């Protein structure tokens, strides 16, 4: 078994592939040019995209030559979804997102040296392609019967699917064909839901070039109940810190389920097999320590946001729950956390609000009565200091960086209040 393929298999990064032995031999035969595509259907990548970038990193480390395709043309259309038609974004919007995704991806791959990862854009070979040429040169090689058999198409037939989304597979197949001709690309990787598109491209190259090329897809990340991993109650976990803060990002992975954390470590962590096996053992023997979750959260936050942001996220969590000093957190970290833990703003004049009011504004109690009960029962905190007087008022010295308050009920219910004057 080829070493890179063996590593991908061990890390759970192969859900399916073309002939396994042939692919292994192909990777053994010399540097292989591969590609994976990303459509700019949003202004940021999310953690599902990061799985694909981890495959790229393994291929690159094994001496291969990855191409990263940003779909300036396919992003104008969008791969068919299970649930319904995508909203088509304007050309200028998509072009802007192309550049944002390129910038994001450049942080995860090597762009210099003797074997740099290269970016390509399918708009380069589709922009001038006429409809007649597309139908004559590409469309004639695709069977409608086979296209109708694709899972996503079959599921959409009852609710309806436009010809635009129906024809997406032709464009992706054209991408593989163009990259085969231009760069000698012989391997396409992607997520499991791209298997139909990838095999269509393989067949298109076989028909037109009489050549054998390969495909590999990763499994979709799931939770223990089978639902998709990478979503929170507030939405998608993005790689852009403006859309998902480093604090929220770190917290998301810190809350990984015991049953799945070793699987996620294999995908996202650079740790060795021995280290990951040891962390899996600790989950079994001492789950309360959450050593594997901390390793996962630290490793992936380091990768996406850098060590300094990870340290700030860890420090913020410790301070919020009374394990370190809140006053030591920089205002930028407090501002970031304020957007994640819940709470609100209060306008204050010369007189600052009662702590009772701050507990309600911070969303740790749902009424003033509940706030008073929390205080009298010894479960209310202002900036990690227990509050014992229901008439206590916030003072200027309580304001962190002159504007923030951290309120807490019990050990785990935390909120923030921003005081505006």
What letter does residue 87 receive in the DSSP assignment?
A: P
Domains of the chain and CATH, by start: 3-218 (3.40.50.620), 221-328 (1.10.240.10), 341-420 (3.10.290.10)
3-state secondary structure 316-368: HHHHHCCCCCHHHCCHHHHHHHHHHHCEEEEECCCCCCEHHHHHHHCCCCCCH
Beta bridge partners of 403: none
pLDDT of residue 298: 98
Annotated binding site for ATP: 231
pLDDT of residue 84: 62
Annotated binding site for L-tyrosine: 35, 168, 172
pLDDT of residue 40: 93
Nearest to 51, CA basis, from 299, 280, 296, 266: 266
3-state secondary structure 25-42: HHHHCCCCEEEEEECCCC
pLDDT of residue 68: 98
Name the percent of the chain in helix, strand, coil, to the closest 5: 50, 15, 35
SS3 of 175, please? helix
What letter does residue 393 receive in the DSSP assignment?
A: B
Annotated binding site: 35, 168, 172, 231
Do residues 375 and 390 make contact, with C-beta atoms less than 8 angstroms apart?
yes
Q: Which DSSP string do the residues of 223-268 spell out, in sequence order?
A: -TTSPBSSEETTEE-BSSTTTS-HHHHHHHHHT--HHHHHHHHHHH
SS3 of 79, please? coil
| Per-residue pLDDT tens digits of the chain, which is 421 residues long | 899 999 999 999 999 999 999 999 999 998 999 999 999 999 999 999 999 999 999 999 999 999 999 999 988 887 766 666 667 788 999 999 999 999 999 999 988 877 899 999 999 999 888 989 888 888 888 777 676 666 666 666 667 667 677 788 899 999 999 999 999 999 999 999 899 999 999 999 999 999 999 999 999 999 998 888 887 766 899 999 999 999 999 999 999 999 999 999 999 999 999 999 999 999 999 999 999 999 999 999 999 999 999 999 999 988 888 787 888 888 888 888 887 887 889 887 778 889 999 999 999 999 999 999 999 999 999 999 999 999 999 999 999 999 999 999 998 899 999 998 8
């Amino acid at each position: 078994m080829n070493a890179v393929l063996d590593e991908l298999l061990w890390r759970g990064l192969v859900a399916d592939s073309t002939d396994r032995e042939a692919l292994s031999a192909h990777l053994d035969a010399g540097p292989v040019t591969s590609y994976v595509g990303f459509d700019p259907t949003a202004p940021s990548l999310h953690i599902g995209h990061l799985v694909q970038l981890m495959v790229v990193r393994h291929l690159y480390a094994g001496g291969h030559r990855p191409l990263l395709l940003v779909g300036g043309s396919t992003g104008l259309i969008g791969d068919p979804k299970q649930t319904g038609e995508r909203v088509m974004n304007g050309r200028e919007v998509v072009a802007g997102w192309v550049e944002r995704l390129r910038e994001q991806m450049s942080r995860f791959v090597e762009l210099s040296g003797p074997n740099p990862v290269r970016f390509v854009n399918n708009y380069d070979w589709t922009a001038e392609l006429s409809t007649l040429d597309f139908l004559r040169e590409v469309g004639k090689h695709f069977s409608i019967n086979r296209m109708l058999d694709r899972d996503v198409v079959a599921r959409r037939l009852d609710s309806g699917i436009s010809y635009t989304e129906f024809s997406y597979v032709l464009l992706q197949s054209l991408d593989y064909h163009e990259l085969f001709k231009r760069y000698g690309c012989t391997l396409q990787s992607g997520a499991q839901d791209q298997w139909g598109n990838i095999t269509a491209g393989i067949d298109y190259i076989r028909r037109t070039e009489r050549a054998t090329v390969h495909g590999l897809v990763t499994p979709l990340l799931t939770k223990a109940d089978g639902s998709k991993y990478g979503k929170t109650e507030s939405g998608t976990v993005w790689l852009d810190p403006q859309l998902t803060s480093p604090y929220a990002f770190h917290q998301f992975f810190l809350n990984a389920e015991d049953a799945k954390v070793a699987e996620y470590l294999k995908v996202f962590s650079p740790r060795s097999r021995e280290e990951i096996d040891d962390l899996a053992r600790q989950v079994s023997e001492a789950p309360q320590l959450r050593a594997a979750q901390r390793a996962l959260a630290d490793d992936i936050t380091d990768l996406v946001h850098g060590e300094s942001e990870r340290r700030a996220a860890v420090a913020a969590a410790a301070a919020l729950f009374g394990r370190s000093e809140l006053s030591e957190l920089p205002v930028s970290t407090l501002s970031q956390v304020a957007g994640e833990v819940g709470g609100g703003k209060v306008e204050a004049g010369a007189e600052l609000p009662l702590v009772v009011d701050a507990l309600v504004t911070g969303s740790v109690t749902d009424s003033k009565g509940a706030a008073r009960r929390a205080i009298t029962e010894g479960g209310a905190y202002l900036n990690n200091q227990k509050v014992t007087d229901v008439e206590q008022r916030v003072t200027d010295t309580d304001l962190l960086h002159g504007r923030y308050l951290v309120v807490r009920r019990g050990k785990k219910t935390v909120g923030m209040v921003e005081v505006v004057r």
